Amino acid sequence: MSEREPGEWNWGGSHRFRAARIHRPHTIDDVAAIAREATSLRAIGSRHSFTDIADSAELVSLDEFDTEMTLDEDAGTVTVGGQATYGDVARLLEPHGLALRNMASLPHISVAGAIATGTHGGGVANGSLATAVAGLEFVTTAGEIVHVDRSSIDFEGMVVSLGALGIVTRVSLDVVFDYDIEQHVFEHLSHDVLASAFEAILGAAYSVSVFTSYDRDGARVWIKRRVDGRDRSLRPGQIFHEAIAATTAHHPIRGAAADQCTRQLGVPGSWADRLPHFRIGSTPSVGDEQQSEFFVALADGPAALDALRGVAGDLADALLTSEIRAVAADELWLSPQYRRDSAAFHFTWVNDADLVDRAVRVVEEALGPFAPRPHWGKVFHADSFSASDAYECLDDFVELARRFDPHGVFVNDWWRRCIGGDNGGP
Ligand SMILES: Cc1cc2nc3c(=O)[nH]c(=O)nc-3n(C[C@H](O)[C@H](O)[C@H](O)COP(=O)(O)OP(=O)(O)OC[C@H]3O[C@@H](n4cnc5c(N)ncnc54)[C@H](O)[C@@H]3O)c2cc1C
């Protein structure tokens, strides 16, 4: 990892926080007092976003916040503090024989930060992690403590909140009975085969990821298959869509050592140790990097893939790996999967601002015909994207933000650039 100047940095080392102060409250009354007094404030989670989305003059970190996790087996939910990581939640659920429906590629991210940006895992039938949210507690800038659940009016607008409605102190998540997964990697998948069987490949198991650099070496497919019979149609053998079963463990970045990755080679294990690509307690990915991701309609996936293959040469200097996953549609107003089953095209870049800037422009142009929606927590150009064109509920969301934050305390530079306007703030 390259040397960083002193200061507060995001996880990937691409953004140094400008905030002059970070509050670390212990109780919800502390949070309310901070929110009431601040004129420019944001909550910060585990800092895994790649831009200034979580920056402001003042920050609130819930690292020292005192919350217990509670299970409500009748309701089928677990309630955790906003700062809990998915790894923390997994550790709580496993002894009870319970599980989450899905995880992102890493268990290290905070629940509140992940749902705020619409973070997702893989699976044609799996919605983003935000779709598992059954209820929320958040503190507004008036210091009011708000409790909402799926029966509340406008709940669909409150989950993927971009951090703009309040400080999320508790989140209730749906739980299911636990399940085991085995992970198989196949190499040398030709891009032509991928394009011709795009939905069949991404839908071949509970969760599927395709890693590629769009070059001649083809792609690798990571199949996360449930061993409880749900993925009965898939019988992993030596060949999958002409790709060949790997005989050693792989890292998403070609050539990188796989020791930080979750167990592969078909060894069954708990959902929490197989759905993420990276192990709890490990360093995920490379740790000195930037990321971007764009979502198009699943049906446009093959054409989007072809478009990216056409510009592979222009991405090569910046690209460490690209991951393609499917994510199911949902009803959450600012979810990148809002009413659209989606193909997600993710890019892990080297941490070089100029190279990334150029490469992201190339991707945005290539995917332009498919009305791409960017991942809120990753790098995109605000001038290549219109939030109001992409999200039919954007005005309703801005109205909601004004209702909970009438003075625009949560409005930051990122919001002004990417959403536009000042939300009625100063
Ligand atoms: C190695 C790596 C792998 C990744 N893999 C995936 C993946 O598989 N899928 C995917 O979709 N994304 C992925 N991401 C992106 C990541 O999931 C998102 O950026 C996510 O938002 C990070 O959560 P965080 O807790 O770090 O939030 P932060 O980056 O700290 O904050 C993100 C947003 O959440 C808000 N926020 C944080 N806490 C609170 C709170 N308590 N109350 C209100 N608002 C809050 C912030 O204000 C900000 O707007 C990955 C990132 C990295 C670094």
Q: How far, in Å, is the centroid of ligand 1 from the Cα of 177?
A: 26
Determine the atom of ligand 1 nearest the C-alpha atom of 111: 25
104 lines ligand 1 (CB under 6 A): yes
**Predicted local confidence at residue 68, as pLDDT:** 85
158 lines ligand 1 (CB under 6 A): no
The domain made up of 70-177 is a member of CATH 3.30.465.10: yes
48 lines ligand 1 (CB under 6 A): yes
Q: How far, in Å, is the centroid of ligand 1 from the Cα of 104?
A: 10
Q: How far, in Å, is the centroid of ligand 1 from the Cα of 46?
A: 7
Beta carbons of 122 and 326 less than 8 angstroms apart: yes
**Is the pTM above the cut of 0.75?**
yes
Mean pLDDT by 10 residues, the chain (426 residues): 77 92 96 97 96 97 90 95 96 96 95 98 98 98 98 98 98 97 95 97 96 92 90 76 92 88 93 93 80 98 98 96 98 98 98 97 98 98 94 96 96 94 54
15 lines ligand 1 (CB under 6 A): no
Determine the atom of ligand 1 nearest the C-alpha atom of 161: 44
**Predicted local confidence at residue 425, as pLDDT:** 46
> Which one, of 24, 25, 6, lies nearest residue 16 by Cα?
6
**Predicted local confidence at residue 222, as pLDDT:** 96
